[in-house]
Amino acid sequence: MKIISSETHFDFMGKIKITLAISGLMILVGLTSIVMSGGLKYGIDFSGGTLVQLQFKTPPNIEEIRGGLKSIGLGESTIQEFGTKRDILIRVQRSEEKLEAVGSKIRNSLGKKFNKQDITVERVEMVGPKVGSDLREKALLSILYAVIGIVIYISWRFELRYAAAAIIALVHDVWVTMGAFSLFDKEFTLVIVAAFLTIIGYSLNDTIVVFDRIRENLRRKGKNTLAQTINISINQTLSRTLLTSGTTLLVVLSLFFFGGEIIHDFSFALLVGVLVGTYSSIFIASVFLVFLDSRRRA
């Protein structure tokens, strides 16, 4: 069985302007969204704060929760449904360094309007501002280290220009995914950084498959130009690029739909990352390989 014909002859290199326009637009939309919403939206892991997940026996009225919370003065809080109408997520900016358990404090404050027995504290996450800034630094460093490691590896296995092209594709993927996060108003947390690192690693899978084929075809030294060779290589590997991404996409979709609310943003990031990563392997990485090559010759 075949989905993609083994003999495709799409002219990928000829459509450079279109793909660059699409990528440019995606990045622009993402950036605009990030700027409009005043920067990336940090979750409590990075900004510090408290998050409490409660489960009610019957769906509560959010306004009543808000009223109940006011009495303990936790500062600005957001209250939202989490997956079902009975699950409520409360986020407050403040982090409590004292020993009082925030979860039960909130539960107690709701005791007047609701029956306390009907409320279960499912999860409490409190991150102090100091830890928040530590984690922020660590997260940035880890992304940096991962990129450096990958650059070293690719330059060792291929050539520096392949590494450069791969990094451009990778930065492209991260930017677009970040934009999507901002667009869908999702928060950056530790788990999302993990997803980004995975995207960084995984989005290169397909790129490397294409690069590998380009290298193989270049060794044969036909009379084709580099652009032509690249185009042939992309066509030759097209079906496996789409298949490998397709199978990964299938499992990520499963995670997205069945994995539950807690891991939802994580799977969202992977979903976007895998899609963008596939796109960039075909359209972005190779384009820049030609671009870098032409500069070298000029």
Partner 1 sequence: MYKDLKWKIPLILGVLLGAVWLSYPLKEKIALGLDLQGGMHLVLEVKVEKAVEASLDRIADDIKRDITEEDLEVDRVKVLFSTRQVNIRMVDNLDLPPVKTILGNYPFLSMVSEDSDGLGLVYQMTLDQVKQIEQNAVSQGLETIRNRVDQFGVSEPTIQAQGENRILVQLPGVKDPERAINLIGKTARLEFKLLDEENSLQKALAGDMDEESEILNQRIVDKETGAVTKEAFLLKKRTVLTGETLTGAEVRFDSDFNEPYVALNFNSVGAMIFQQVTRENIKKRLAIVLDDNVYSAPVIQDEIAGGRAQITGRFTSEEARDLAIILRAGALPAPVIILENRTVGPSLGQDSINKGITSIIYGGLVVVAFIAVYYKLSGIIAVIALFLNIVLLAGALAYFGAALTLPGIAGIILTVGMAIDANVLVFERIREELRIGKTVRAAIDAGFSKAFRTIVDANITTFIAAVVLFQFGTGPIKGFAITLCIGIAASMFTAVFVSRTIFDGTMSQRKLDKLSI
Residue among 125 and 293 whose Cβ is closer to partner 1? 125
In whole angstroms, what is the distance from residue 132 CA to residue 48 CA? 5
- 221 near partner 1, judged by CB under 8 A: no
Nearer to partner 1, 231 or 278 (CB): 278
Rounded CA-CA distance 282/114 in Å is 56
Q: Tell which residue, 10, 82, 25, 11, has the closest CA to residue 53.
A: 82
Question: Which residue stretch of 179-187, 223-231, 262-270, 285-293 sits at the interface with partner 1 (rule: CB under 8 A)?
Answer: 262-270
Around 234, how many Cα atoms within 13 Å sit in the side-chain half-sphere?
24
Near partner 1 in 54-73, by CB under 8 A: 55
Q: How far apart are CA 292 and CA 16, in angstroms?
A: 14
Closer to partner 1 by CB, 34 or 163: give it. 163
Among 33, 120, 155, 228, binds partner 1 (CB under 8 A): 120
Q: Which of 23, 53, 217, 233 is in the footprint of partner 1 by CB under 8 A?
A: 53
Amino acid at site 258: F
Q: Could you tell me the maximum CA-CA distance found in the chain, to the nearest angstrom? A: 82
Stretch that binds partner 1, among 14-22, 32-40, 191-199, 285-293 (CB under 8 A): 191-199
The sign of the dihedral angle between the CA atoms of 179, 185, 190, 192 is negative
Q: Judged by CB, which is closer to partner 1: 126, or 180?
A: 126
123, 155, 226, 228: residue in contact with partner 1 (rule CB under 8 A)? 123
CB of 166 to partner 1, least distance (A): 8
